[in-house]
């Protein structure tokens, strides 16, 4: 079952843990003297299979259709389609791919995974996200695909914290504007500590909260 619009989140996997597993696996593959096309192909397909909770073998076209039912921006959908087209070439072309080509695919894949996790956490309430985060530290299903479990990194904890602050400030802005402004100040402290890429991704929701609080002050 995929994460559909309006569907309860009880079936959604722990996306942060899945992301961490992908990061670990990519590092392991990149450290090898030789990278096989099959490793890259299987890693990408395995991630999307777990992300969407698909229990059948799928084509790239079927996967793209499933992804249209998930909360992802048009820009992100397009980037995913481009990556999947490149990965599908591994299956259909007879030529060998260089290590540099495969490493670039992995780099693009890692960036997309990061963007998908941010998108996921932007679209769900903090309390549901927190339940998802704490429910399964590392599921057996993940262990079958990825070798090692790992704890959340500090950056990943900041993602959860930022979304908590965003949600809480919006939630109480009607009843306690002063408290909402205090939460916004704490949010900005975290935002200022982010790297440029994450700042860019969070600029829109942070700016929207700023405008919301500013308008309520008028």
Q: What is the pLDDT of residue 11?
A: 35
Q: pTM above 0.75?
A: no
pLDDT tens digits, one per residue of 187-215: 999 899 888 888 888 888 899 999 999 99
Q: What is the pLDDT of residue 134?
A: 46
The continuous run of DSSP H or E covering 191 comes out as: helix 177-192
d(CA 70, CA 214): 32
d(CA 147, CA 21): 8
Q: What is the pLDDT of residue 184?
A: 94
Q: What is the pLDDT of residue 74?
A: 80
d(CA 183, CA 120): 22
Distance of CA 32 to the CA centre of its chain: 26
pLDDT tens digits, one per residue of 166-183: 878 888 888 889 999 999
d(CA 214, CA 79): 34
Q: What is the pLDDT of residue 148?
A: 39
What would the two tokens of residue 141 be? 């299903």
Do 60 and 84 contact (CB within 8 A), yes or no? Answer: yes
Average confidence (pLDDT) per 10 residues, the chain, 218 residues: 39 66 90 91 89 77 79 81 88 84 92 78 50 48 44 64 81 88 91 86 89 87
Do 27 and 20 contact (CB within 8 A), yes or no? Answer: no
Compute and round to an integer the Cα radius of gyration of the chain: 19
């Amino acid at each position: 079952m995929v994460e559909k619009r309006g569907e309860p989140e009880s079936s959604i996997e722990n996306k942060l843990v899945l992301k961490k597993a992908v990061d670990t696996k990519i590092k392991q593959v990149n450290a090898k003297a030789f990278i096989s096309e099959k490793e890259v192909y299987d890693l990408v397909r395995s991630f999307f299979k777990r992300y969407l909770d698909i229990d059948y073998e799928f084509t790239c076209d079927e996967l793209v259709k499933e992804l249209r039912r998930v909360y992802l921006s048009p820009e992100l959908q397009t980037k995913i389609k481009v990556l999947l087209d490149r990965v599908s070439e591994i299956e259909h072309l007879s030529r060998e791919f260089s290590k540099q080509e495969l490493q670039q695919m992995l780099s693009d894949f890692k960036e997309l995974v990061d963007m998908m996790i941010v998108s996921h956490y932007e679209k769900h309430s903090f309390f549901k996200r927190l339940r998802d985060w704490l429910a399964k530290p590392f599921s057996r299903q993940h262990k079958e695909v990825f070798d090692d479990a790992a704890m959340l990194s500090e950056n990943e904890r900041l993602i959860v914290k930022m979304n908590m602050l965003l949600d809480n400030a919006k939630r109480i802005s009607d009843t306690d504007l002063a408290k909402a402004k205090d939460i916004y100040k704490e949010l900005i402290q975290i935002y200022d500590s982010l790297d440029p890429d994450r700042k860019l991704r969070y600029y829109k929701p942070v700016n929207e909260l700023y405008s919301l609080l500013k308008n309520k002050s008028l």
